[in-house]
């Protein structure tokens, strides 16, 4: 099956992954699906949310007829990858925090993990740390407020400097054995959309690492015959009126409505 790449997220965070995919495969057709009716996902119980994610992605696959699904959301990847792979006949690529590449470049061996509360506390995050960064100090910071800042950014609202500073403050205060944080994992796909503002607020030079490039490489490995051309459709589960201009900046121009099966 040769179709577009379908990117799924609860909101606009997957646009950071779309940007990475376009950098790697500039001629590849893509479409986007966001479950903005249920955002933020962190407020839902795991069983209900897992079923919802599968249902929304099935509807998006029917609408887009893609060759591969990219789940550009850490929460959705944690909960629903197995269910999606059972329910769909196309390859599914998930998202995990970029702990491994961060550990490969950190010089002080002190890494900051900036993510949502759910990602910071989930066992799979701890397994990543134990597997790839066991010799590093990991300062975990739950920064759910940054999700709302990224969503507002796509609606034309500039990020609130004070809220960003408040979210980042624990990273700069975390000095363990006099070793400062020199690498920060952006452990939510929303956060790379705010990277220029985050960089400007860092008191010292810091490497910011996200999962976009790794996802793009994985897509190329499992779906080498990607469809070329423009697709430009984006699908939502709630009103898309406030999102249209923001999505168009990333090459998604045509809104659509996801019809979920009863």
Q: Which residues does the annotation mark as catalytic?
A: 73, 188
**How far, rounded to the nearest angstrom, does the alpha carbon of residue 24 sit from its chain's CA centroid?**
17
Could you tell me how many residues make up the chain?
262
Rounded to whole angstroms, the Cα distance separating 33 from 139 reads 32
What is the four-CA torsion angle of 71, 119, 185, 163, rounded to 10 degrees? 110
Interior/surface letters 167-177, b for 16+ CB within 10 angstroms, e for the rest: bbebbbebeee
| Contact between 226 and 21 (Cβ < 8 Å) | no
Whether the ω angle into residue 250 lies within 30 degrees of 0, i.e. cis, is no
> CA angle 178-180-136, nearest 5°?
95
Q: How many CA atoms lie within 13 A of 170 on its CB side?
A: 13
| Distance between CA atoms of residues 206 and 200, nearest Å | 10
> φ and ψ at 139, to 5 degrees?
-100, 115
d(CA 92, CA 73): 12
């Amino acid at each position: 099956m040769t179709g577009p790449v379908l990117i799924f997220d609860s909101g606009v965070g997957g646009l950071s992954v779309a940007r990475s995919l376009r950098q790697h495969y500039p001629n590849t057709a893509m479409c986007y699906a966001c479950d903005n009716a249920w955002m933020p996902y962190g407020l839902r119980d795991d069983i209900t949310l897992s079923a919802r994610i599968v249902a929304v992605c099935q509807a998006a696959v029917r609408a887009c007829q893609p060759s591969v699904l990219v789940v550009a959301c850490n929460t959705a990847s944690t909960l629903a990858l197995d269910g999606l792979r059972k329910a769909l006949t196309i390859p599914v690529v998930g998202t995990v925090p970029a702990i491994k590449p961060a550990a490969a470049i950190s010089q002080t061996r002190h890494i900051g993990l900036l993510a949502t509360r759910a990602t910071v506390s989930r066992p799979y995050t701890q397994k990543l740390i134990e597997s790839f960064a066991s010799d590093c100090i990991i300062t975990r910071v739950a920064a759910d407020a940054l999700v709302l800042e990224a969503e507002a950014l796509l609606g034309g609202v500039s990020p609130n400097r004070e809220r960003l500073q408040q979210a980042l403050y624990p990273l700069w205060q975390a000095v363990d054995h006099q070793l400062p944080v020199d690498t920060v994992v952006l452990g939510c796909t929303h956060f790379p959309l705010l990277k220029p503002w985050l960089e400007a607020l860092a008191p010292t030079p810091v490497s910011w690492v996200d999962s976009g490039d790794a996802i793009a490489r994985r897509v190329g490995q499992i779906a080498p015959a990607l469809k070329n051309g423009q697709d430009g459709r984006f699908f939502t589960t709630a009103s898309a009126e406030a999102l249209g201009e923001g999505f168009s900046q990333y090459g998604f121009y045509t809104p659509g409505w996801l019809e979920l099966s009863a």
